[in-house]
Structure 1
Amino acid sequence: MFTGIVETIGTVAEYRQLDETESGGYGISVTIEDAGPVLVDCHIGDSIACSGICLTVTEFDSNSFKVGISPETVKRTDIAAWKQGTKVNLERAVSQDVRFGGHYVQGHVDTVATIKSRVADGNSIVFGFKLRDAVYEKFIVEKGYISLDGTSLTVTTIDNDGTFYIAMIKHTQEHVVMPLKLVDDLVNVEVDITGKVIEKQIDLHLQAQIANSNSTLSQLISKIVEEKVSEALNK
């Protein structure tokens, strides 16, 4: 679990496609350097959010660490666009003494979004984004949380076409990678898990109600159908 409060910015030092003869074949091996602040208490197997992607440390030293990335993660994220020199946000998994300054971030990226606009507003920057997969638009709400490249941000407004906006203050600009990106670049998106949990609970409840002929919902549906059939027969 993460908070979406970026600790430091790392740099991709090596990006290598694995072949079928190697462990994790057809995946990608990435080494990230300039990562000292998140490695002071690191252990093999620890989770580090890399631009919002929860990845497992397989090797490390005082300045860099290595992770393996599966094809599924590549499909969901912007990792295919990474190369040597790419800057990434880094955050360690939370410990029991961490102040929860952001929001509950799993590090399980749902999809990517394209930066559609970036406009200065005083010393802030207002970014506009459009999701690649519209199915996640229902989980993005005005004044709700969203994780973009692992940064906990608040949605300010949403257009009718699903384009959504965030306003990034100067302090955040100085500590995350997004200001380095341009219009048409991609960002990793993790929507707030709360919305997904609520949707799942409602869906399961409705299914159970429909499956039970004695449930309140089933009886209501039957009554409405009977009334409509009766109206049609009496016309």
Structure 2
Amino acid sequence: MFTGLVEEIGQIRRIGRKGEALVLNIGASVIMDDLKIGDSVAVNGVCLTATTLEDGGFTADVMPETYRHTNLSQLQSGSKVNLERAMLSGGRFGGHIVQGHVDGTGVIGSITRDQNAVVFEVRPDDSELFQYLIPKGSVTLDGISLTVVQTTPSSFTVSIIPHTIGETVLNIKKTGDTVNIECDILGKYVDHLLHYGKGHAETSKGKPRSISEEFLSNHGFA
């Protein structure tokens, strides 16, 4: 489990490719202090396993399923990536519960200034993710724990402080770039429990029921 608080920006040193399977060699320093073979590391929000340790870096395998559904497929030698070690049980929980299990990707639609903050508009590739995206709720972009500001039928926005911009790969992101999206696990579990054993529960109008801010409020969750 992770918190979504990025520890450092790593750099891809080498990539071994065999079809849609990758072996990433990633340069790092901060996370190498106590990293062991077999430990989990979130790379741009994707939970990977350290398979070998080298001087100033580590390697990790990327399986085809991960390749197909995350932005790791776009990495090249020299690419910057967000890195976070798995959470220590005795550490402070500064972000939110992040599994490193990416739900999908999205494209950055716009980047705008709002005084001391930077607002990113993200357009998810899969519209079904919106059932888990609510204003003031949590979302993870490239492994960064963020808060949803607002949503539209096709996009959502997050407002980011200068510290987060400076300490993550968001500082080199631009309009049109792809980001990994992981929705809040609590929302996914609530949705699953509400619909478990019922197939796709339907409303009186025959449309699939989904989680929304109004639904949570009507049922005493918000």
TM-score relative to the length of structure 1: 0.82
> Is the 1:117–1:183 contact (alpha carbons within 8 Å) kept by the matching residues of 2?
yes
Q: CA deviation at 1:61?
A: 2.4
1:31-180 matches, cutoff 5 A: 31-33=25-27, 35-159=28-152, 161-180=153-172
> Is the 1:10–1:32 contact (alpha carbons within 8 Å) kept by the matching residues of 2?
yes
Counterparts of 2:131 and 2:55, CA distance in 1: 42
1:145-224 matches, cutoff 5 A: 145-159=138-152, 161-204=153-196, 206=198
Q: CA deviation at 1:101?
A: 0.2
- 1:15 and 2:9 matched: no
Ranges in structure 2 where 5+ consecutive residues have no aligned partner? 202-222
TM-score relative to the length of structure 2: 0.87
Q: CA deviation at 1:206?
A: 4.0
Q: CA deviation at 1:62?
A: 4.0
Counterparts of 1:137 and 1:59, CA distance in 2: 38
Between Structure 1 and Structure 2, which shows a larger proportion of helix residues? 1
Which of 17, 23, 36 aligns to 1:29? It is 23
Counterparts of 2:51 and 2:197, CA distance in 1: 41
Alignment identity in percent?
Answer: 38
Give the length in aligned residue pairs.
200
Q: CA deviation at 1:98?
A: 1.2
Ranges in structure 1 where 5+ consecutive residues have no aligned partner? 20-25, 210-235
> Is the 1:40–1:62 contact (alpha carbons within 8 Å) kept by the matching residues of 2?
no
Root-mean-square deviation (Å)? 1.4
> Is the 1:6–1:89 contact (alpha carbons within 8 Å) kept by the matching residues of 2?
yes
| Equivalent AA in structure 2 for residue 156 of structure 1 | V
- Give the 3-state SS of the residue equivalent to 1:128 in structure 2: strand
Counterparts of 1:15 and 1:134, CA distance in 2: 31
Displaced runs of 4+ in structure 1, greater than 4 A? Answer: none
Which is greater in Rg?
Answer: 1
